[in-house]
Homo-oligomer: A and B are copies of this chain.
Amino acid sequence: MKSVLNRPIVIHLPSSPSYLPVMRATLGKLCELVGFDRETAGAVVLSMDEALTNIIKHAYGGAEDGVIDIELAPVGEPEPEAVKISLRDYGPAVDPKKIKSRDLDDVRPGGLGVHIIKKCMDTVEYAPADGGGTLLTMVKKLNSQKGKDKV
């Protein structure tokens, strides 16, 4: 059956750290199908993991009974050229400007997640979500893989 990878998978995930390995497996396989090499797929998976971790810690304060809405979307026609990851929480509104990475030279535990996300993904955008909470949208393009020219 000839079929294409051009529609999003939508997931409602419990805000519990227990489910992180499951989401990593899901996105890792999708990245493989989209055509990312192992290393880039790993960086995309790490970025989603960091973003989910931040939602669990900061948006839900560790409460495990929240829900995270996830959209994993291969983007491009007829063949996918990128993957777009959207994460939406229902936590207290937060000023997107407050979500930023710290100075890396100050070696201390924590404060690395946002840095990792911005370093690994091509575009990263935090915005207040309709009806409360925060919507994070991040995109990784196939042609931004190492060893290929940046567009």
Query: Which of B4, B11, B19, B62 is within 8 Å of A18, CB to CB?
Result: B4
Structural contact, B18 and A14, CB atoms closer than 8 A: no
Chain B, Cβ-Cβ closest to A12: B10
- A21 near B: Cβ within 8 Å? yes
Measured between beta carbons, the chain B residues less than 8 angstroms from A21 are 29, 32-33
Structural contact, B33 and A29, CB atoms closer than 8 A: no
Chain A residues within CB distance 8 Å of chain B = 1, 3-5, 7-14, 16-19, 21-22, 24-26, 28-30, 32-33, 62, 64-65
Task: Write the nearest CB–CB distance from A84 to chain B, whole angstroms.
Answer: 15
Question: Dominant SS at the A interface?
Answer: mixed
Task: Write the nearest CB–CB distance from A6 to chain B, whole angstroms.
Answer: 9
Measured between beta carbons, the chain B residues less than 8 angstroms from A14 are 7-9
Known: A26-B26, A28-B25. A13 touches B9 (CB 8 A): yes
Structural contact, B9 and A9, CB atoms closer than 8 A: no
Query: Which of B7, B17, B19, B24 is within 8 Å of A9, CB to CB?
Result: B19
Query: Which of B19, B33, B62 is within 8 Å of A22, CB to CB?
Result: B33
